[in-house]
Chains A and B, each alone.
Chain A
């Protein structure tokens, strides 16, 4: 408890590579939830003890594949109802997962627990520069209220420059 400021948490966690369960890295973090104003994202400071795996090869394969598509990529319902994700869509799913991490951070309070539930719709936006751009509508599941919240996010990605969420907003719920 920090008077007039908020609540600070000290965390010790282990990061696990979802593509390689045996690859783990320790991490410490400080999270500060601001008192009162719920519109400010919590402050996060972290230190990673060690190195994250190099993914250049897989990144470049994905990058080149998308760059060379004749028509812009469009897809829906990833995973599908049965939890299936086609191999070609797996990187699209992982990208959404990372990007939604940012959205979740920006919208979290001490009383929320968000997870990415599903990609409802994803559409590639052709760009003249070297970046890949995807326009996602995702469903976020909030654990405490159990609500499923549609969320729009515009995601930029480049193998060397990483992920950026340039625009995001709560998406109006359709009937």
Chain B
């Protein structure tokens, strides 16, 4: 008992530790009633801070006792001097706790990590917004989420920013989902942003790009439309804004930009799928991007992703006159399309919008181009009409995989041709 008191004093001297470093759990087997009684008395020494996991009951039945590190010597001497047999069940409680915590974190991470996200299926707007937060969580020093505005129905317009630092570096803008029924594009947006995050530091091109430039990626560019394609009409294309004096809803966000606005390449009828809107930038979804790009002032490329038709387009859509750097854009498109085809043999046509697809005015890339963004492209992804907008989800990953080298070609060219 005297020994115990000495050690109790020592324990009292040691300040209160909340951790369990060095604590051990002993399995004690009392062989008779006298030893049981001794164990009970031991437990009553408050200063020792003993913690019975299994109380002493009767001889032959194990007593499990957690002993804080400072009390270990005292307890062991007590047991040995009284010939009470024991073994060490847990060598270090803190170590065990650390292991457990780690494994819990890992399994929670497995549920929440971007590597377990199902890239091969189409997702709801909430699933996409949740995934964006996961991407930021997983790559906090590279990716951040910014809000550039609100949709007509007050949904946030989120943009993922990829940056390794600097201040207002030259930037590349990409958007998917401006036409909500083009589901393959939002799906590509998720896969591609994930790819960019993964490849920084691994792929030389991605690393070179992000070491000098920023990337801004808006995945759900038309969230109201996208929500509507899930809830009501899978074929909805436009925004969901109410048109004064008409029962028809929505404006074509790719006819609403201030570039050749109001020509034959768009409609003045609110019921039309290519309705241009009452005036340029009338749509909040469009205005938000206009304000962002204007405000940024250093955007060097705009890549707007659509489906379907398998085409790579550059300005102009609103006029037949070739863009000043038509030759350069044409060469770059040719290379991108060739590298895309090299993956699975998917054939794309390319050229100016007006030559390749049809006359279209008030488009994203024409506005960007006329506002100084020399490298502006529209992708029209798979397919050529067999499934059209209803592209089977089994084609998401192949489409993303083949489009990636084409996107990289454009981004690398932008990096290597500063202006």
Contacts and interface: CB of A to CB of B under 8 A. Distances in A.
A79 B387 contact: yes
Given A83-B395, A148-B235, A148-B273, A141 B386 contact: no
Contacts of B122: 81-82
A117 B235 contact: yes
Interface of A: 18, 79-85, 115-118, 139, 141, 143-148
B389 A144 contact: no
11 contacts: A82-B393, A83-B392, A115-B386, A116-B385, A116-B388, A117-B235, A117-B390, A118-B235, A139-B235, A143-B309, A146-B274
A79 B392 contact: yes
A147 B395 CA distance: 24
Contacts of B392: 79, 82-85
What's the dominant secondary structure at chain B's contact region?
loop
Contacts of A82: 121-122, 390, 392-393
Contact of B234 (A81, A84, A144, A147): A81
Contacts of B390: 79-83, 117-118
Interface string B153-176: 000000000000000000000000
B273 A144 contact: no
Contacts of A139: 235
Contacts of B229: 81
Contacts of A148: 235, 273
B332 interface: no
A45 B374 CA distance: 46
A42 B385 CA distance: 21
B114 interface: no
B235 A115 contact: no
A91 B396 CA distance: 24
Given A82-B121, A117-B388, 12 more contacts: A79-B392, A80-B390, A81-B183, A81-B234, A82-B393, A83-B391, A83-B392, A83-B393, A84-B393, A85-B392, A139-B235, A141-B388
A117 B389 contact: yes
A141 B181 CA distance: 12
A104 to B, nearest CB: 11
A146 B393 contact: no
A81 B392 CA distance: 9
B393 A145 contact: no
Interface in B234-252: 234-235, 237, 252
